[in-house]
Structure 1
Amino acid sequence: MANILVVEDEMIIRNALRRLLERNEFTVTEAGSVDEACQNDLDQFDLIISDLRLPGAEGTEMITRAPNVPVLIMTSYASMRSAVDAMKLGAQDYIAKPFDHDDMVQTVKRILLHRQGAITTSSEGSSENPGTDGQLRLGQMVGQCAPMQLLYKQILKIAPTPVTVLIHGESGTGKELAARAIHDHSARAKAPMISVNCAAIPESLIESELFGHERGAFTGAVSARQGLVEAADGGSLFLDEIGELPMEAQARLLRVIQEREVRRVGTVHSRKVDVRLIAATHRNLKELVEAGQFREDLYYRLQVIELKIPPLRVRGDDILMIAEVLLHQYAEKMGLAEPTFSSAARKAIREYHWPGNVRELENAMQRALILSEGPEIEAAVLNIDQRAREHVMPTPIQNDSDPTLLAPEDPLESPSPEDASLEDYFVQFVLEHEENMSETELAQKLGISRKNLWERRQRLGIPRRKSSKG
Structure 2
Amino acid sequence: MTAVRPVQSTRVLVCDPDPALRRMMRAALARRGVLNMIEVEGLDAAFTASANCDAALICVPQGEEAIVARLRAAGLTGTLVVSLAQGSVAGAVAAMRAGADDVVLKPVKAEDVVERLLTAPGGRPERRRALREDRRPSPTAQNGDFYGFLGRSAPMLQLYERINRVAPSRAPVFVTGESGTGKELAASAVHARSPRHTAPFHALNCGAIPRELMESEIFGHARGAFTGAHADRAGAAELADGGTLFLDEIGEMDLALQSKLLRFLQDGKVRRIGEGHERQVDVRIVCATNRDPVAEVKAGRLREDLFYRLHVLNLHLPPLRERGDDVIRLAEAFLARFAGEEGRPLPRLTADVCAVLLRRQWRGNVRELQNLMRRAVVLSEGGVLSPALFAEDRMAVPVINAPEPAADAGVSLAEGCPSPSDDAAAKVEPLAVTERRAIEGAIAAFQGNIALAAAALDLSPSTLYRKKQSWEQGARREGSARAAGTHHMA
Query: Deviations along 1:380-414, whole A, 9 cap, x unmatched?
Result: 223438789xxxxxxxxxxxxxxxxxxxxxxxxxx
Whole-angstrom CA distance in 2 between matches of 1:213 and 1:154: 37
Say whether 1:132 aligns with 2:142.
yes
* Residue 152 (structure 1) shift: 0.4
Query: Deviations along 1:249-299, whole A, 9 cap, x unmatched?
Result: 111211221111111112231101111111000112222222222111110
Whole-angstrom CA distance in 2 between matches of 1:326 and 1:197: 25
Match for 1:218: what amino acid?
A: F
Say whether 1:253 aligns with 2:261.
yes
Could you tell me which of 191, 214, 239 is aligned with 1:231?
A: 239
Report the counterpart of residue 175 of structure 2 in structure 1: 167
Query: Deviations along 1:313-346, whole A, 9 cap, x unmatched?
Result: 1111111111111111222223332121122111
Whole-angstrom CA distance in 2 between matches of 1:332 and 1:189: 31
Say whether 1:191 aligns with 2:199.
yes
* Residue 225 (structure 1) shift: 1.1
| Equivalences for residues 349-428 of structure 1 within 5 A | 349-384=357-392
Q: Work out the percentage of aligned pairs sharing the same amino acid.
A: 47
Report the counterpart of residue 322 of structure 1 in structure 2: 330
Could you tell me which of 179, 182, 194 is aligned with 2:190?
A: 182
Report the counterpart of residue 225 of structure 2 in structure 1: 217
Q: Secondary structure at the match of 1:294?
A: coil
* Residue 238 (structure 1) shift: 0.8
* Residue 236 (structure 1) shift: 0.9
Say whether 1:273 aligns with 2:288.
no
TM-score by length of 1: 0.53
Match for 1:296: what amino acid?
A: E
Whole-angstrom CA distance in 2 between matches of 1:333 and 1:377: 18
Q: Is the Cα–Cα contact under 8 Å of residues 130 and 137 in structure 1 kept in the other structure?
A: no
| Equivalences for residues 235-314 of structure 1 within 5 A | 235-314=243-322
Q: Is the Cα–Cα contact under 8 Å of residues 367 and 382 in structure 1 kept in the other structure?
A: no
Query: Deviations along 1:57-94, whole A, 9 cap, x unmatched?
Result: xxxxxxxxxxxxxxxxxxxxxxxxxxxxxxxxxxxxxx
Q: Is the Cα–Cα contact under 8 Å of residues 178 and 319 in structure 2 kept in the other structure?
A: yes
Q: Secondary structure at the match of 1:340?
A: coil
Whole-angstrom CA distance in 2 between matches of 1:236 and 1:334: 35
Whole-angstrom CA distance in 2 between matches of 1:191 and 1:205: 25
Q: Secondary structure at the match of 2:199?
A: coil
Q: How many residues align?
A: 261
Q: Which runs of 4+ in 1 moved over 6 A?
A: 385-388
Q: Secondary structure at the match of 2:212?
A: coil
Whole-angstrom CA distance in 1 between matches of 2:372 and 2:395: 13
Q: Is the Cα–Cα contact under 8 Å of residues 128 and 156 in structure 1 kept in the other structure?
A: no
Query: Deviations along 1:164-201, whole A, 9 cap, x unmatched?
Result: 10000001111111111111111111222111110000
Q: Is the Cα–Cα contact under 8 Å of residues 127 and 157 in structure 1 kept in the other structure?
A: no
Q: Is the Cα–Cα contact under 8 Å of residues 237 and 276 in structure 1 kept in the other structure?
A: yes
Whole-angstrom CA distance in 2 between matches of 1:337 and 1:191: 41
Whole-angstrom CA distance in 2 between matches of 1:127 and 1:161: 15
Match for 1:265: what amino acid?
A: I
Aligned CA-pair RMSD: 1.9
Query: Deviations along 1:343-368, whole A, 9 cap, x unmatched?
Result: 21111111011111111101100000
Q: Is the Cα–Cα contact under 8 Å of residues 379 and 385 in structure 1 kept in the other structure?
A: no
Report the counterpart of residue 337 of structure 1 in structure 2: 345
Whole-angstrom CA distance in 1 between matches of 2:214 and 2:394: 42
Higher relative contact order (CA 8 A, sep 6+): 1
